[in-house]
Amino acid sequence: MRFASLGSGSKGNCSVVASDSISIMVDCGFSYKDVIARMKRLDLDPDALTGIIVTHEHSDHVSGVEALSNRHAIPVYASRGTWIEIGADNYKFSNYISGLFTIGDIDITPIPVPHDAREPLQFVFGSAGKRLGILSDAGSLSGRILNAFTELDALSIEFNHDISLLQRGPYPSYLKTRISGDYGHLNNDQAARLIETTVSDRLCTVVACHISEINNEVALIEKALESVLKNRDIQYLVASQSDGFDWISVERR
């Protein structure tokens, strides 16, 4: 299994998880034209996508989903609540998620998360004994999240904001309250705490994603990561809004 991002942040999110035989997109928060251009960078053919999984209906996750699905006959997978919010009844190809499911040789575990959408999910992917967790939007660390994101070989996790930069920053107070609330976005300390709580000897790679360009800084994210990954042989990187990150192989120690 391997994974990559076509871009990550409040202006658009899109990841891809692939095995030797299939490729699955997770969210598509870029316009059709933009996502096609971004896919070229990763040498990805839209006609080769086996499915698009949608985490929730916020526009930074769904703006390109319908066009990509309809133009390339790619099935869309979403919770019933997300399905209703994105109008998936109008899509030609859609399935709703009601529990653990499988696409090709990848098993997908949906995890309900606290976030201000109708029925948001995040996911753990398993294939050939390897496990990858993707957690892009959550306001707090529920027991469900902490139980599900364990025994991972690779993890992509939201490091949305630094709490003091958010509080001192230019956002209006209602937005600060929303982002820092239990149904908003994970701050650097919360993300680090998730890693600290769930880390096992298996974990090889951590990617920090969904980073606020206004309310965070790479140096602060790296400091938070280093504080919990110290003395462990774990590689980490910080995803960017413009380029996401290139393919990373999910390896098992």
- Is 119 a binder of Zn ion (CB under 5 A)? no
From the DSSP assignment, how many helices (H) and strands (E) are in the chain?
9, 14
- Is 58 a binder of Zn ion (CB under 5 A)? yes
- Is 60 a binder of Zn ion (CB under 5 A)? yes
In whole angstroms, give the CA distance from residue 221 to residue 208.
8
Q: What is the CA radius of gyration of the chain?
A: 17
Answer whether 7's CB lies under 8 Å from 37's CB: no
Nearest to 134 by CA among 55, 226, 193, 221: 55
Cβ-based nearer residue to Zn ion, 115 or 131? 115
Q: Which of 27, 137, 153, 158 binds Zn ion (CB under 5 A)?
A: 137
Strand 49-53 vs strand 76-79: parallel, antiparallel, or unpaired? parallel
Cβ-based nearer residue to Zn ion, 4 or 121? 121
Cβ-based nearer residue to Zn ion, 26 or 199? 26
Minimum distance of Zn ion from residue 104's CB (angstroms): 26
Near Zn ion by CB under 5 A, which window of 38-46, 54-62, 146-154, 197-205? 54-62
Which x/- pattern over 195-234 shows residues binding Zn ion (rule: CB under 5 A)? Answer: ----------------------------------------
Token code pair at residue 23:
């490729």
